[in-house]
Structure 1
Amino acid sequence: MSSIPRLSDQNISDPILRAHYYKIVNDYINSTSSELVTYIIQMSEEYRPDLVSYRVFGSKDLAWLVCLASDLDDTADPLPVGETIYMPTAAWIRRSMRQFLTDMGLA
């Protein structure tokens, strides 16, 4: 039995609810929060959201967040090399996902 890492978007198994959570994250990214992490996508990371996640957060588990912040629908799509992306902190993701799971009766 494999466990799902706590920062994985797969903790929200229903794709419709996951899309709803993605909207919450996108709304936060598009807010004027000063707590966003900024990162410039490097050439070596063009097809490696997992590598960006590891370099920024120390974990590959937030590769989904890198794709979401880069406005990508598919992890196989190239990241925008040279562009700055903005992402919530891992702590914010942990808190908001826990709250979302609780609010949806999934925790």
Structure 2
Amino acid sequence: MANDAILRGRTVREMSIDELFGAVEQEWQDQALCAQTDPEAFFPEKGGSTREAKRICLACAVRDECLEYALEHDERFGIWGGLSDRERRRLKKQII
């Protein structure tokens, strides 16, 4: 069909629900600025600085999607959506 959306080289109609969600998830990850930088900045040693990672996150177009992913998947390490694990836990408590 001419109007079918193409995602990862396949039409949406050809994909299962799991494949569709996985492809959409991969789309935002491909656009993330952290994917284009040193991953060690986003997973610093205990007590290490998170300043550089958070600065990169501030300019990232998919920051909200990243944070949502981290909250949904209970990510316990690293900077996601501009927040550390401690900041994400605090945010989650405020939401609940």
Same fold (TM over 0.5): no
Q: TM-score when scaled to structure 1?
A: 0.27
Structure ranking higher in helix proportion: 2
Q: TM-score when scaled to structure 2?
A: 0.28
Q: Quick check: which has more Rg, 1 or 2?
A: 2
Work out which structure has the larger RCO, using CA pairs closer than 8 Å and 6 or more positions apart in sequence. Answer: 1
